[in-house]
Structure 1
């Protein structure tokens, strides 16, 4: 960067889809606030793995998968984390997104409620309030859930609730139901005990890919080596955290305030379960299966419609993955 001058430096930083050079700042927008599932990024950064590959990684706090998919798709950030079904919706609207690696091979999408509020299952959702952020993946994909559950999509109302305020909103009865990831399950069990009710989306037959690493398509085309390095370092980091999460959580807690160590440890145990399927254990950690992606595309097309249909094969690639790195199922508690 030396010799660019102030004006040149400013132009470089304002062009996220341009060619990346050694040590250039590269942004990753998360799906929302950092928790245990993001700890591998913080760990790899603390270890200097990204820097060694010429990547000066900046980790940006997200505001929902819808937001991160649009920001990456518009070139506002080279990389991001987004729910894959949400990314497909964004791509149909013109977002230039490509999925590189699954993090949640199983959907983490879960609805939680309190039985004392008169909700005992999905059939009781109508006429109740659901709290989540506007860009939250579960809100974007709500019509799919509602139709699969056999209830009218417009039978509930949504209330804007920030990612960190969901439990408080449920406890205060500001809302009747909240959406959240399964990795946060233990925190709710501790808070609400036997009064807690929940349903994971796969329990009603919906198991789309969850949070995944995505890239801006133009950035990928211009920077294939950097993108490959980014993916493989990220795979390596997730594998290291599966083997021993302690240093990974330390890296996360050193950089992110307000997180409880014990809660993050509980989360990571759930995350390992979400990371594990027949493909991540045999093909490669982070593998995205073509047949499953076709089903996810059909799900989105059926329930939400595609503004501009596209070939689903263009929305993901597994070519950058290191097939020697696989998910270690022996580390997952049954």
Structure 2
């Protein structure tokens, strides 16, 4: 009897590791390429991963630092990364060049784009931009969209020069006068206010009528067709994470800072408060957190076609879908 029992124990010991290995094997490996270096707006992904939510949904997620919306759209478009984060107009331009991508969730329902300068430099607004140096990374979405901004404010798009500046070097470069102007997302606004005080000049793109959708979750279209369940699981988990972080960002920032060094928690908390403003619009509060409005996407498409043109035409409805969102998860109204 003892011999039989020991055989049974051994058999179970052999079976259990096999079952665990099989369960591990069914998890889908997914690479998420960010638009930039990780900051507060990416904390929900780190939080959900730390909580095991992606894993529980059958996803083995790798989060990769990005180098601009243009690069992430390209990466997703060719399938190097299955999922990414990119500014929607930049994703439209990439699709117009043949990139296979679809947006499944918007993070910034309002454009985060803005320009910063020092009033002491003699710049009072965009009419003073000609002849000046704008510093930002080569893959920055504002570089891609610059012609639209220039035409909107009535200046020659070729009247400025661009200087390659890393995200971390924007403020120091502005302070040292190595550049005259920098572009940045609104979520970094408080950091600049503390640094420059009353000398800071700022213009949000949305305040002059340029308010396209900003950062959005994009998916390789072929991958979406082959793995709709994985994409739905990823999207719904991400919605859940963003909603949790809106309620209490502290554990989300903790998860972010556990994975990313060099971040200041107070600065990230300020960022998150600005991010909530960018996430909130009538569609995200009534349809679903992360939902696109078809009319607005159409307007964004018309803007892209007007200022840039598309090498390969496509319908606005082809660039996005709300089908993978959970409508029960909505953005808070305040």
TM-score, normalised to structure 2, is: 0.92
Deviation at 1:118, TM superposition (A): 1.3
Aligned to 1:136: 140
Task: Flag structure 1 segments of 5+ consecutive residues without an equivalent.
Answer: 1-19
Asked if residue 316 in structure 1 is aligned to residue 315 in structure 2, the reply is no
Aligned to 1:325: 329
Residue deviations 1:56-97 (CA, integer Å, cap 9, x gap): 110000000000000000101000000000000000000001
Whole-angstrom distance in 2 between the partners of 1:242 and 1:148: 33
Aligned to 1:150: 154
Aligned to 2:272: 268
Aligned to 1:238: 242
Aligned to 2:298: 294
SS of residue in 2 equivalent to 1:141: helix
Aligned to 1:208: 212
Residue number among 302, 307, 324 corresponding to 1:303 in the alignment: 307
Deviation at 1:268, TM superposition (A): 0.3
Aligned to 2:71: 67
Residue number among 32, 39, 46 corresponding to 1:35 in the alignment: 39
Runs of 4+ more than 6 Å apart: none
Task: Flag structure 2 segments of 5+ consecutive residues without an equivalent.
Answer: 1-23
SS of residue in 2 equivalent to 1:111: strand
Asked if residue 179 in structure 1 is aligned to residue 178 in structure 2, the reply is no
Indicate the structure (1 or 2) with the bigger Cα radius of gyration.
Answer: 2
Please list, as runs of the form range in 1=range in 2, the aligned pairs for 1:90-169 lying within 5 A after superposition: 90-169=94-173
Q: Does the 8 Å CA contact 1:53/1:229 hold for their aligned counterparts?
A: yes
Residue deviations 1:114-146 (CA, integer Å, cap 9, x gap): 011111101101000000111100000100000
Deviation at 1:163, TM superposition (A): 1.1
Q: Does the 8 Å CA contact 1:21/1:54 hold for their aligned counterparts?
A: no
Evaluate the alpha carbon distance shift between residue 287 and residue 21 of structure 1 in structure 2; reply closer, same or farther with a 3 A threshold. Answer: farther
Give the total of aligned pairs: 311
Whole-angstrom distance in 2 between the partners of 1:201 and 1:291: 19
Q: Does the 8 Å CA contact 2:28/2:230 hold for their aligned counterparts?
A: no
Deviation at 1:43, TM superposition (A): 0.1
Aligned to 1:15: none
Whole-angstrom distance in 2 between the partners of 1:189 and 1:299: 31
Deviation at 1:25, TM superposition (A): 2.2
SS of residue in 1 equivalent to 2:62: strand
Q: Does the 8 Å CA contact 1:130/1:159 hold for their aligned counterparts?
A: yes
SS of residue in 2 equivalent to 1:329: coil
Higher deviation after alignment, 22-31 or 229-238:
22-31
Deviation at 1:231, TM superposition (A): 0.2
Residue deviations 1:164-210 (CA, integer Å, cap 9, x gap): 11111111111000000000000000000000001000111100000
Q: Does the 8 Å CA contact 2:111/2:278 hold for their aligned counterparts?
A: yes
Q: Does the 8 Å CA contact 1:65/1:81 hold for their aligned counterparts?
A: yes
Q: Does the 8 Å CA contact 1:43/1:247 hold for their aligned counterparts?
A: yes
SS of residue in 1 equivalent to 2:296: helix
Deviation at 1:21, TM superposition (A): 6.5
Please list, as runs of the form range in 1=range in 2, the aligned pairs for 1:18-29 lying within 5 A after superposition: 22-29=26-33
Q: CA RMSD in A?
A: 1.0
